[in-house]
Structure 1
Amino acid sequence: FRPITGFTDKQLVALQARGKFLHDNTEYAMLGWGGGVCFLGMSLITDRLSNVTMGLPSEWMVMLMTEKETCHEMMDKSVEASIKCLKQLHDAAGDYCFAWGIAADDSGTQRSEFINPELWAEMIKPHYAKLCAWVHRNTNWKTFLHSCGSIYHLVPHMIEAGVDILNPIQTSAANMEPDRLKREFGGKIVFWGGGCDTQGVMATVTPDEIREHVSERLAIFKPGGGYVFNQVHNIQPNVPAENIIAMLDAAYEYGRQGQ
Structure 2
Amino acid sequence: MRKSGYAVVGNLGWTEVFGMAWYLRGFENFMIDLIARKEFAHALLRRITDYQKARYLKFLEIVGNVIDVILFADDLGGQHGLFISPSTYREMIKPCHAEIIQSVRSKTRARIMFHSCGSVTPLLDDFVELGVDILNPVQVSAKRMDTLALKKRYGKRLSFWGAVDTQRILPHGIPEEVRKEVRLRISHLAPGGGYVVAPVHVVQADVPPGNVIAMCQAAKESGKE
State the TM-score, normalized to the length of structure 1.
0.81
Structure 1 runs of 4+ with >4 Å offset = none
Match of 1:45 among 4, 18, 21: 21
Q: Which residue of 1 is the match for residue 184 of structure 2?
A: 216
2:91 and 2:180 map into 1 onto residues whose CA distance is 41
Shift of 1:70: 2.4
Q: Which residue of 2 is the match for residue 159 of structure 1?
A: 128
Q: Which residue of 1 is the match for residue 93 of structure 2?
A: 124
Per-residue displacement from partner, 1:61-112 (whole Å, max 9, x unpaired)? 1111112232223222222222222222112113110111122x21111111
Q: Which residue of 2 is the match for residue 12 of structure 1?
A: none
Q: Which residue of 2 is the match for residue 3 of structure 1?
A: none
Q: How many pairs does the alignment contain?
A: 225
2:187 and 2:13 map into 1 onto residues whose CA distance is 35
Indicate the percent of aligned positions where both proteins have the same amino acid: 35
Q: Which residue of 2 is the match for residue 33 of structure 1?
A: 11
2:154 and 2:101 map into 1 onto residues whose CA distance is 19
Shift of 1:36: 5.9
5 Å-filtered alignment, 1:1-259, equals: 26-34=4-12, 37-41=15-19, 44-45=20-21, 53-54=24-25, 56-103=26-73, 105-194=74-163, 196-257=164-225
Change (3 A) 1:88 1:220: same
* Residue identity in the other structure for 2:131: G
1:45 and 1:119 map into 2 onto residues whose CA distance is 14
SS of the equivalent of 1:97 reads coil
Change (3 A) 1:208 1:233: same
Change (3 A) 1:240 1:66: same
Change (3 A) 1:37 1:73: farther
SS of the equivalent of 2:64 reads helix
SS of the equivalent of 1:34 reads coil
SS of the equivalent of 1:96 reads coil
2:82 and 2:101 map into 1 onto residues whose CA distance is 22
Task: Tell me if the contact between 1:144 and 1:164 (Cα under 8 Å) persists in the aligned partners.
Answer: yes
Shift of 1:35: 6.5
1:68 and 1:252 map into 2 onto residues whose CA distance is 50
